[in-house]
Amino acid sequence: MNPSEKAASSHPVIRTLTSPAGRALLALLLVLLVGLIFNADGAFFRPGTHRDALRQASVYGILACGLTLVIITAGIDLAVGSVLALVAVCGAKMAIHWHWPAVVVVVASLLVGAACGGTCGFVAARLRVQPFIATLAMMVFARGLAKYASGGMKVSRSFGGEFVDLPPLFAFIDKRILGDNVSMVSVIFLGCVVLAWLALDRHRWGRQLYAIGGNEDAARLSGVPVVAAKAAAYVASGVFAAIAGLCQAAQEQQGDPETGGGYELIAIAMVVIGGTSLMGGRGGMGLTLLGVLTIGYLEKILSINAVPEAGRLMLTGLIIVVAVLTQRRRPA
């Protein structure tokens, strides 16, 4: 985008195509092209297919929003899948079993997520434990806490011999709007994208995260509050995981302590496929949005074609590698 940065000789179209955003867009278009060819007897052309592709990518996508903030600082957050499960369990308990008002459930759930993220942030940023280890510990701990809080059973509507009504909060999150064409969870996901984009692109804190990811020592010497800014990124990741947890519980109509296993790796893959570097300092929310759509559509296309599991896993692996290879910066 910055003309002085790139060689003035290259054509604007080439420049756009070789920019990170251009390449991420290309990967998404390639996946969509696969969908056009293998359209499963026209199922790919129905609006419902696209609404559902977005719906099923949304929970991963919300996790990816938080992960983008953390990965920009050259950190990682492996705990998001477990925090999602913990919040799903707590949210289901509060909403289904205790009939708490929706606002209280949402606020309390976000606080649970923030507390988990805050602990990760404190251990990683203040105590300077490697983020991989700090969040791995939280991944294990939060999963245990989810099992403890739920008593090892799913927190479901079947409770005390009764079948409890679906709480209004869950019905709201799982409903569809705009003439049945958009799932509410997708709207929530887009809201999260905008929030994370505002924080990264339009706020001083975002600049600080890029600076920390680029060169932490340089950032510290130039007066960036490294510990606070970094810890805040983990808090944000915990809050996004909590939002994802509520969405998951609403869609399952229960709090399953086993849910979300492995989701952190899918969300990380979405961030990386978008073009945000695991080394920190480079990337952004727009790229993550493209990465989420790429993997989301890939899953949907494999699903409508009823591709057997073995083939799905191999294809997904291949496409991740190809997408990341096209993302690699070529030497100038």
Footprint on this chain of other proteins (rule: CB under 8 A): 40-41, 43, 46, 48-49, 52, 55-56, 78, 81, 136-137, 139-140, 143, 147, 152-154, 156-159, 163, 174, 176, 248, 251-253, 256, 258-259, 261-262, 264-266, 299-300, 303-304, 306, 308-309, 313, 316-317
Q: Rounded to 5 degrees, what are φ and ψ at 163?
A: -115, 100
Report the residue number, 104 or 133, with the smaller CB distance to other proteins: 133
Give dist(CA 149, CA 135) in Å, integer: 20
Which lies closer to other proteins via its Cβ, residue 223 or residue 308?
308
Using alpha carbons only, what angle is made at residue 255 by residues 152 and 149, rounded to the nearest 5 degrees?
45
Of 41 and 217, CB closest to other proteins: 41
Q: Cβ of residue 43: shortest distance to other proteins, in angstroms?
A: 4
Q: Which residues contact 54 (CB under 8 A, 6 or more apart)?
A: 182, 183, 186, 189, 296
| Closer of 213 and 291 to other proteins (Cβ) | 291
- Within 8 A by CB and 6+ apart from 77, the residues are 66, 67, 70, 117, 120, 131, 135, 234, 237, 264
Q: Which is nearer to other proteins, 79 or 219 (CB)?
A: 79
CB 135, CB 198: distance < 8 Å: no
**215: DSSP letter:** -
Distance between CA atoms of residues 207 and 198, nearest Å: 11
Minimum separation from the CB atom of position 4 to other proteins (A): 42
Q: How far is the CB of 309 from other proteins (least distance, A)?
A: 4
C-beta of 242: minimal distance to other proteins in Å? 18
Identify which of residues 212 and 249 has a Cβ nearer to other proteins in the complex: 249
Residue nearer to other proteins on the CB measure, 75 or 284: 75
Residue 49 or 73 with smaller CB distance to other proteins: 49
How many Cβ atoms sit within 10 Å of the Cβ of residue 195?
16
State whether the Cα torsion 199-204-209-211 is positive or negative.
Answer: positive
Q: Cβ of residue 152: shortest distance to other proteins, in angstroms?
A: 5
* Angstrom distance (rounded) from CA 299 to CA 6: 36
Residue listed under structure tokens 């923030």: 114
| CB 158, min distance to other proteins, A | 4
Minimum CB distance to other proteins, residue 16 (Å): 33
What's the helix, strand, coil split of the chain in %, to 5?
70, 5, 25
For other proteins, the closer CB: 195 or 315: 315
**In which region does residue 164 sit, left (phi positive, over 0), alpha (psi from -120 to 50) or beta (all else)?**
beta
Q: How far is the CB of 171 from other proteins (least distance, A)?
A: 11
- Amino acid (1-letter code) at residue 150: S
Least distance to other proteins, CB of residue 58, Å: 12
Tokens matching residue 151: 């008593």
CA-CA distance, 123 to 143, in Å (whole number)?
A: 18
